[in-house]
Copies of this chain bind each other. A is one copy, B any other.
Amino acid sequence: MALTLEELVGRFGGEVVGDRARQVGSLAPLDQAGPQQLAFLANPKYLSQVETTQAGAVLISPADLAKLGSSEGRNFIVTPNPYAYFARVAQMFIDLATPKAPAGVHPSAVIDAAAKVAPSAVIGPHVVVEAGAVIGENVRLDANVVVGRGTQIGEGSHLYPNVAVYYGCKIGPRAIIHSGAVIGSDGFGFAPDFVGEGDVRTGSWVKIPQVGGVSIGPDVEIGANTTIDRGAMADTIIEECVKIDNLVQIGHNCKIGAYTVIAGCAGIAGSTTIGRHCMIGGAVGIAGHVTLADYVIVTAKSGVSKSLLKPGMYTSAFPAVDHADWNKSAALMRNLDKLRDRIKALEAAAAARDNT
């Protein structure tokens, strides 16, 4: 399977410089690509590799092309974003090479008579779809996926094996949800109902019913074993094109703004609103009931306990250093007030001296 450069720009845009009839059938790095392969230059520091590459053609930005001494005898697709272009072409070649599962419902799947499954959907073995659920066109539900009562899965979405979506949720078109993710589990809410203190305290935690849902916009990707809780009354909301990594926890009634990315192991407590185009680093923790503005970046391992209302980069994490050195600094840090008091004493002594 190969396409000409002309066919590629017909599908993905950009302009051909060189031989429009040149065919390429796969992608490779500049230093490894052969004459039937397409390479890309995303970082100008590899410009010299463009001079020597054996690639059949190179994806390049207009600025980088202009830096080249000569393009003679070489073929290019010129595009403002060669890396994104590469990603799109690579995806196409993969789709062409991947065997398509035939549409239809595997005989071992259990589909409630009151559910609607589009004819083009691919429903794998042991899938369970409950009453009132709606499975859109070209949806793919892999083995053991469970879709609860009344939940909607938008067209073109792909749920990998063992995903569970509880009842009453709505998942936008073209979602990708990786294995083990759980959407719509109960938010963590309990009313304390205790009498007395200490050893004589009696009573219990009373569960607050969680009857909101989860509403997920278009083009969202959700990583493996990530959990997104349903809202207490209103929905938990994930807007379009949010990308969430593995093992992330999103509490009830959070709202995650469009295009925000959240790296692995992050946790966001309930009722927090994160703006659009934010970047939440790995293992970041964000408290409940706070607001992050659009374009906020929180670096990995940091903790957010208050609202961050201005765009910008925020941090509260230390990098690991030699254990003994760290312990020395940490001990001083726990006694900073003593250092401060010693400075105060020196200042007072100096002032007394100056006054005499």
The residues of A with any CB-CB pair to B shorter than 8 Å are 81, 83-84, 86-88, 90-91, 94, 99, 106, 108, 110, 124-126, 128, 131, 142-144, 146, 149, 160-162, 164, 166, 176, 178-180, 182, 185-186, 188, 190-194, 198, 201, 204-209, 211, 219, 221, 223-225, 227, 229, 241, 243, 245-247, 249, 251, 259, 261, 263-265, 267, 269, 277, 282-283, 285, 287, 294-295, 297-306, 308, 312-323, 325-330, 332-337, 339-340, 342-343, 346-347, 349-350
- Chain B contacts of A180 at CB under 8 A? 162, 164, 180, 182, 225, 227
- Chain B contacts of A295 at CB under 8 A? 198
- Chain B contacts of A329 at CB under 8 A? 333-337
The residue in A164, A305, A313 that gathers the most chain B C-beta atoms within 10 A of its C-beta is A164
* CB contact between A320 and one of B164, B207, B298 (< 8 Å): that residue: B298
**What separation, in Å, do the CA atoms of A312 and B89 have in the docked complex?**
45
Q: Are B269 and A193 in contact (CB-based, < 8 A)?
A: no
Q: Are A207 and B221 in contact (CB-based, < 8 A)?
A: yes
Q: Are A285 and B285 in contact (CB-based, < 8 A)?
A: no
Q: Are A241 and B204 in contact (CB-based, < 8 A)?
A: yes
Q: Are B320 and A308 in contact (CB-based, < 8 A)?
A: yes
29 contacts between A and B (CB under 8 A): A86-B191, A90-B211, A99-B131, A108-B126, A110-B125, A144-B144, A144-B162, A162-B180, A162-B182, A176-B207, A178-B182, A188-B246, A190-B261, A205-B259, A225-B225, A227-B247, A245-B249, A247-B267, A282-B287, A287-B300, A299-B323, A303-B317, A304-B319, A315-B323, A315-B326, A316-B319, A328-B336, A333-B336, A336-B336
* CB contact between A166 and one of B124, B160, B333 (< 8 Å): that residue: B160
- Chain B contacts of A90 at CB under 8 A? 208-209, 211
**Distance of A315 from chain B, by nearest CB (Å):** 4
**Distance of A330 from chain B, by nearest CB (Å):** 6
| Known contacts A190-B243, A209-B90, A315-B323, A227 near B224 by CB under 8 Å | yes
Q: Are B179 and A185 in contact (CB-based, < 8 A)?
A: yes
Q: Are A339 and B340 in contact (CB-based, < 8 A)?
A: yes
| Known contacts A108-B110, A164-B179, A219-B204, A315 near B287 by CB under 8 Å | no
- Chain B contacts of A207 at CB under 8 A? 87, 91, 176, 221
**What separation, in Å, do the CA atoms of A238 and B323 have in the docked complex?**
27
**What separation, in Å, do the CA atoms of A261 and B118 have in the docked complex?**
43
**What separation, in Å, do the CA atoms of A131 and B100 have in the docked complex?**
12
- Chain B contacts of A251 at CB under 8 A? 264
Q: Are B308 and A316 in contact (CB-based, < 8 A)?
A: no
Q: Which residue of B lies closest to A146 (CB)?
A: B161
The residue in A188, A191, A269, A312 that gathers the most chain B C-beta atoms within 10 A of its C-beta is A188
